[in-house]
Amino acid sequence: MDQVRLVIVNRKLFLGIISIAAFVVMLSMQGYLVKMLSLPIHIVLLGRFAAAFILLGLYLLFLHRLSTLARSYMRMKNWWTASIASALGCASVGCYFFSLHHLSLSVATTLFLSSPLFLPLVRKILLKDSVDNRVYLGIGIALLGILGILKDQQEIAILVALIAAALMAVWVVLWQRLHANHSSLNLSLHYFGIGALVALFLCWIVQGRTFFPIHLPEFYALVALGVVALGCQLFFTLALRYAPRRLALSWIYASLLVMIGMDEWLYRATISLTSILGMILLAIGSLGTMQIVVKGWKKNV
């Protein structure tokens, strides 16, 4: 019996590690595709969410039935909360994409992954949770990292990236509340569908009814961006399901090493030692804050 349990644990750990590695690859590919595309941000945002929604809808349509797709949408009990969460998620990704066009891939992603720093404040405001005093130590370390990054990067782009992280923190809290009553598949369908509508509305505001020409290579890149978005969502969920949370969250920040390498080799961007140290401090502060917040979730469950 002990051997069987050991095999099951090892299998789950293996699946968790594979999922973490896949998430890191998908996250890096998303940044690469966004920086490669020369399209306006609102077009890239619409392509990402619409392609992901269509692909997810086709999955339900071909592997199940049309009625399953309709039921998945109609089963949503908290439409208002889901709509707000999806709109905030779309805005967060849009801010992140903006920062990618003005910052290096590694710096923009490090700032985007600093969303755990905002989780305690968001949970205090929305859920009336108490804030563990140890959180302030992580925030202080992260602030030192941000100061190090500020020396070599654009201040406005850094502010937008931090806004993306704050919006993502609100999205995470709302998503967690919705996840108590809805499946991940149902939530993802709403997230990408409503996100596509928000991006379409943004396109209408920016350019009205004017059609923006998209060439075939750009179209393929947008479809690939949708696939990568689905991959990030899937493998992040699997990583937290199969791997210990401390391991999963720690290795997710290892994607920064991959992106620093991509900055050096693909974009010929020289990352200063000050920026690298700033990113390390920011990652340490974000990770430490996340570990404390996750432990608090377990106590409340």
Q: By three-state DSSP, how is residue 154 classified?
A: coil
Q: Which residue has the tokens 């939530």?
A: 187
**C-alpha–C-alpha distance, residues 264 and 210, integer Å:** 38
**C-alpha–C-alpha distance, residues 135 and 290, integer Å:** 9
Instruction: Report percent pLDDT > 70 for the chain.
Output: 76
Question: Tens of pLDDT along 113-172?
Answer: 888 888 888 888 887 777 777 888 888 888 888 888 877 667 788 899 999 999 988 988
pLDDT-derived band at 3, boundaries 50, 70, 90 = very low
Range among 113-122, 192-201, 247-256 rated most confident: 192-201
Q: What is the mean pLDDT of residues 253-268?
A: 67
Angstrom CA distances, 239 to 119, 159, 203, 242, 277, stand at: 20, 29, 34, 6, 27
pLDDT-derived band at 251, boundaries 50, 70, 90 = low
Q: What is the mean pLDDT of residues 36-65?
A: 84
Q: What is the mean pLDDT of residues 292-299?
A: 59
Q: What is the mean pLDDT of residues 210-232?
A: 85
Name the token pair of 136: 């302030």
**How far apart are the two ends of the chain, measured CA to CA in Å?**
29
Q: By three-state DSSP, how is residue 49 classified?
A: helix
Q: Are 82 and 194 in contact (CB under 8 A)?
A: yes
| pTM, to two decimals | 0.83
Show the CA angle centred on residue 34, arms to residues 178 and 274, nearest 5°: 95
